[in-house]
């Protein structure tokens, strides 16, 4: 199944996927500024990057994505990946695309790949468990927003 790096021409699909994911999670009013996202993903100093999963039955059709940025673990002394968002459109689920995206990320670092999962998302928890991922016990994530 095709997994590839996003290109500038994918910007509209990337934003649409983020907005669709927000609706799926109950936030119906998210609208992204396309110019800002272009700058952050494809400008001279990108802040994040995206892998695109194409539909297995329709090559070229965007079915999902992994939205990421690099991090660094001082204790492991290695770069790792922060997976900010993983989303497969509902009609393309159960075809192994989420696994393909995560396996593609695994090839990009020997360090840690980390992400958050919303509490109560048992389907995702089972999926991650099947991959061999585990929740990080005794750590609490904090966010400090401007």
Question: Domains in the chain, please, with CATH?
Answer: 3-131 (3.40.630.30)
pLDDT of residue 43: 95
pTM of the model: 0.91
Residue 13 exposed, middle or buried by CB count within 10 Å (0-12, 13-18, 19+): middle
Torsion sign across C-alpha atoms 119, 49, 101, 112: negative
How far apart are alpha carbons 45 and 60 in whole angstroms?
Answer: 27
pLDDT of residue 116: 92
Q: Does pLDDT of 56 surpass 70?
A: yes
% the chain with pLDDT above 90: 72
Q: Does pLDDT of 146 surpass 90?
A: no
**What DSSP string describes 30-57?**
----HHHHHHHHHSSS-S-EEEEEEETT
Pick 50 or 120 by higher pLDDT.
50
Contact 89, 56 (CB under 8 A): no
Q: Does pLDDT of 110 surpass 60?
A: yes
Q: Does pLDDT of 143 surpass 60?
A: yes
pLDDT of residue 137: 86
> What separation in angstroms does the CA of 145 have from each of 41, 63, 123, 142?
21, 31, 29, 10
pLDDT of residue 81: 96
Q: Does pLDDT of 1 surpass 80?
A: no
How far apart are alpha carbons 48 and 114 in whole angstroms?
Answer: 15
pLDDT of residue 138: 83
Provide mean pLDDT across the span 21-50. Answer: 95
Q: What mean pLDDT is reported for the chain?
A: 93
């Amino acid at each position: 199944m095709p997994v590839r790096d996003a290109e500038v021409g994918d910007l509209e699909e990337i934003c649409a996927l983020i907005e669709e994911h927000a609706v799926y999670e109950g936030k119906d009013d998210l609208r992204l500024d396309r110019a800002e996202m272009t700058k952050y993903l494809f400008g001279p100093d990108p802040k994040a990057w995206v892998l695109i999963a194409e539909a297995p039955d329709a090559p070229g059709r965007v079915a999902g994505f992994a939205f990421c940025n690099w991090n660094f673990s001082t204790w492991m002394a290695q770069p790792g990946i922060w997976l900010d968002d993983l989303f497969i459109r509902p009609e393309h689920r159960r075809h192994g695309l989420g696994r393909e995206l995560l396996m593609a990320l695994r090839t990009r670092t020997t360090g840690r790949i980390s992400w958050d999962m919303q509490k109560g998302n048992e389907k995702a928890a089972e999926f991650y468990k099947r991959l061999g991922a585990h929740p990080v016990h005794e750590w609490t994530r904090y966010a400090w927003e401007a």
